[in-house]
Amino acid sequence: MASTEAPSHRRAWALFVVATAAGAGLVSPYVTFHVGSGRLDITGRLHWYVLVVHIFAALVALVLGPLQFIPAIRARRPVHRAIGRGYLLAGVLPAALAAVPVALLSGRLLTQVGLTVAAAGWLVTGHLALRAARRRDFEAHRSWMARNYAFTFLAVTARVVVPLLLLAQLPFRGTAERASFGNEAHDLIPVGQTLGWIVDLAVAEVLIRRRRARSAHT
């Protein structure tokens, strides 16, 4: 048991550290509540307000999520349940609901489609995780929570995907073209938002299958 849970323990704590550090950076432009701060285009005050709700609720989910996967915390059922409820009710639910108007008000088709699909997936996987826990199917619950956190971690992955896409183009660009990378990074944000949750879900599925394979051999 110790040999299988040790990697899980280390991964969960590493994820918590990365999520907390990244989350602090993501919300920092918005802590002043100055309309228009941040890297996303805002179409009006309503867009700004729902974006702020989305950002801060997503931060709650981003930080609380990894704690659910730490074996020592999971073993303490009351603590695990309290963290899970906070994650879903104070994090995922408001963040996902706010993500829909944020996407629709963006004016960018890829953002509208990509983020709305991600918000729906966020809510559906959260519901399925909760339903599995209520019927005491903890293996299914853990798998659905992993998929759910894949949508949560989109906030981080999307900001990694965009620089990687730009770096992949670097060898094929001249000096003059490289000067325009700043503008192109902004234009690639919708691509990063969509690819981010696709990549995260793929990684989650790999980890779920590995865990099931290990369980089958123990």
The C-alpha atoms of residue 175 and residue 168 are separated, in whole angstroms, by 15
Long-range CB contacts (< 8 A, 24+ apart) of 206-214?
207/146, 208/143, 208/146, 208/147, 211/8, 211/142, 212/139, 214/4
pLDDT given for residue 81 in this prediction: 94
The C-alpha atoms of residue 145 and residue 129 are separated, in whole angstroms, by 6
Amino acid present at 218: T
> What is the mean predicted confidence (pLDDT) over 156-170?
86
The C-alpha atoms of residue 186 and residue 199 are separated, in whole angstroms, by 20
pLDDT given for residue 2 in this prediction: 37
pLDDT given for residue 203 in this prediction: 95
Between 7 and 80, the more confident residue is 80
Q: What residues make up the domain containing 130? A: 2-216
The C-alpha atoms of residue 218 and residue 213 are separated, in whole angstroms, by 9
pLDDT given for residue 39 in this prediction: 64
Q: If you count DSSP H runs as helices and E runs as strands, how many of each does the chain have, helices first? A: 11, 0
Quickly state the pLDDT bin for 218 (edges 50, 70, 90).
low
pLDDT given for residue 98 in this prediction: 96
> What is the mean predicted confidence (pLDDT) over 54-65?
96
When divided into structural domains, the chain yields a total of: 1
> What is the mean predicted confidence (pLDDT) over 13-32?
90
pLDDT in tens, 82-139: 999 999 999 999 999 999 999 999 888 999 999 999 999 999 999 999 999 999 999 9
- 139-148, 154-163, 208-217: which range is least confident on average? 208-217
> What is the mean predicted confidence (pLDDT) over 26-42?
75
Burial 16-33 (b: 16+ CB within 10 A, else e): beebeebbeebbeebeee
pLDDT given for residue 34 in this prediction: 72
Residue 103 burial class via C-beta count within 10 angstroms: exposed 0-12, middle 13-18, buried 19 and up: buried
Q: Above pLDDT 70, what percent of the chain?
A: 87
Of 84, 154, 146, residue with least CA distance to 119: 154
How many CB atoms are located within 10 Å of the residue 76 CB? Answer: 12
The C-alpha atoms of residue 46 and residue 81 are separated, in whole angstroms, by 34
Q: Taking the model in full, what pTM does it have?
A: 0.88
pLDDT given for residue 211 in this prediction: 86
